Amino acid sequence: MDVSSLPFNKWLGLTANDGTVQVSPNAKHLNHVGTVHATVLFGVAEAASGHWLVRRFPELADGHLVVLRTAQLKYRRPGTTGPPLVGSASCDEMKAERFSQTLLTRRRSTLEISAVVKQDDQELMTATFVWFASGLAGT
């Protein structure tokens, strides 16, 4: 699954590459004070975490329900139009392995993934996302 193909991410103008996602912010992404809307930053961070998840576990694309369960965010500075917003994500490998094993044995599991959004190498936002995955009937 390509996170950039989701309708909202398409609307944002999000693109995904090997390990990051990005958006080139423009006027449609701005809030009432002229900076990048918090929802756009959230969208980039969430997409980065989902991108990490499907790259690490491509088998989730078939026969699994995968949804975001919780998010914890910290906005650090505003984004502006111009340079792209770049989102990246990571996860502790021991937690990823435990997620995989639990999903195999219990057919459901959760995984915490950290994400960061930067613009011109300045950190705009950090976040932690907890994803829920469940094997669908018949898989």
pLDDT band at residue 61, thresholds of 50, 70 and 90?
Answer: confident
Whether the Cβ atoms of residue 71 and residue 128 lie closer than 8 Å to each other: yes
What DSSP string describes 46-107? HHHHHHHHHHH-GGGGSSEEEEEEEEEEEE-S---SSSPEEEEEE--HHHHHHHHHHHHHHS
Please tell me the predicted confidence (pLDDT) of residue 66.
95
Number of domains in the chain: 1
What percentage of the chain has pLDDT greater than the value 70?
97
Residue 137 has pLDDT above 70, yes or no: no
pLDDT > 90: percent of the chain: 91
Give the per-residue pLDDT at 139. Answer: 46
d(CA 139, CA 133): 13
pLDDT tens for 78-119 read 999 999 999 999 999 999 999 999 999 999 999 999 999 999
**CA 119 – CA 129 distance, rounded (Å):** 20
pLDDT digits (tens, 9 = 90+) for 9-31: 999 999 999 899 999 999 999 99
Sequence-separated (6 or more) residues with CB below 8 Å from residue 137: none
| pTM tops 0.75, yes or no | yes
Query: Whole domain around residue 48: which residue ranges?
Result: 3-135
State residue 120's pLDDT score: 97
Q: What is the CATH number of the domain that holds 14?
A: 3.10.129.10
The answer to whether 117 touches 80, Cβ cutoff 8 Å, is: no
pLDDT, one tens digit per residue, over 37-48 is: 999 999 999 999
